[in-house]
Chains A and B, each alone.
Chain A
Amino acid sequence: MQDLLTNSLNGYIFLASILFTIGILGILIRKNIIIIFMSIELMLNAVNLLMTAFSVHHNNSDGQVFVLFIMAVAAAEVTIGLAILVMIYRNTGSVNIDELKKMKW
């Protein structure tokens, strides 16, 4: 534990792993589609943080440009996802993800 935190980059790796795991956990334990979207955002942010940490570590700004692109894709994804969500709510009357099991085998 101590050497995870004394080394700065390892600290960032540790933090990003925890945040990513929290995002996975949110997807697994919640049924609300909006919370699942938020968990995806959390995971994207964990990856962004790790990418920035490595970019600073290697003294190369390519990683930060990629973080910018990840943010752009995340914004587009949230727009489309929330539009789909509103449509699902209009058709089924709930935001429960278990309502959408018509394609389940």
Chain B
Amino acid sequence: MDKFIFLFLAAVAILSALSVIFAKSPVYSVLSLIITFFAMAGHFVLLNAQFLAIVNIIVYAGAIMVLFLFVIMLLNLNKESEPQKPFYIKLVACIAGGLLLITLVGATRGSITVNGDALMATNNAIDIGSVEKIGQELFTNFLIPFEISSVLFLSAMIGAVMLGKKDLKHT
């Protein structure tokens, strides 16, 4: 049963990811990307990582994608103003991407043979991704990176405000 859910979610993720890069209008790309993120959240649930599934939906599908949609609607982009690359560049890019995929799969396949079926079969892996376990890790072993990430957010916020100002000279 897990296998079928995995294959279904994988198919949804791949198809909507392809739709992200091949859609003509940027709004459709954003909507496809939201579907991809929901499929990713489904994968996280399948891996017993409940906290990451929720955070994925809240942060990516909720915050980042709304930001993308706001910018697209602010800039008034549509199908007509969409720049296109010539066909031969697309062909070369597809060949290069296919070669990269072959390389990645060829390099990683067969490298995981020991305990390969341990995934999803272990019962003690249930609480690995729970909120309690992640919170304990975050506030004990990873406390300093956690605090530094808050400084990163502050600097990102200040940077966005500074970049968004009309003209910096007269203020």
Contacts and interface: CB of A to CB of B under 8 A. Distances in A.
Interface of A: 4-5, 7-15, 17-26, 28-32, 34-35, 37-39, 41-42, 45, 48-49, 52-53, 55-57, 59-62, 64-65, 67-69, 71-80, 82-87, 89, 94-96, 98
A10 B112 contact: yes
Contact of A18 (B64, B94, B101, B133): B101
Among B17, B98, B149, B159, max chain A CB count under 10 A is at B17
Contacts of B97: 21-22, 24-25, 28
Q: Size range of the interface on B?
A: 35 or more
Given A49-B43, A52-B47, A65-B141, 18 more contacts: A9-B119, A17-B101, A17-B104, A17-B105, A17-B108, A29-B21, A32-B83, A34-B71, A41-B64, A45-B60, A48-B56, A56-B125, A67-B52, A69-B145, A71-B55, A75-B156, A76-B152, A89-B75
B100 A41 contact: no
Interface of B: 2-3, 6-7, 10, 13-14, 17-18, 20-21, 26, 29-30, 33, 36-37, 40, 43-44, 47-49, 51-52, 55-56, 59-60, 63-64, 67-68, 71-72, 74-75, 77, 81-85, 89-90, 93-94, 96-98, 100-101, 104-105, 108-109, 112, 115-120, 122, 124-125, 128-129, 133-134, 137-138, 141-142, 145, 149, 152-153, 155-157, 159-160, 163-164
Contacts of B84: 31
Nearest to B100: A21
B126 to A, nearest CB: 10
A32 B145 CA distance: 34
A53 B83 contact: no
Contacts of A87: 163-164
Contacts of B163: 80, 83-84, 86-87
B160 A80 contact: yes
B1 to A, nearest CB: 13
B59 A95 contact: no
A16 B60 CA distance: 17
A43 B128 CA distance: 24
A59 B64 contact: no
Given A29-B93, A71-B55, A82-B71, A64 B129 contact: yes
B85 A74 contact: no
B68 A65 contact: no
Contacts of A48: 40, 52, 56
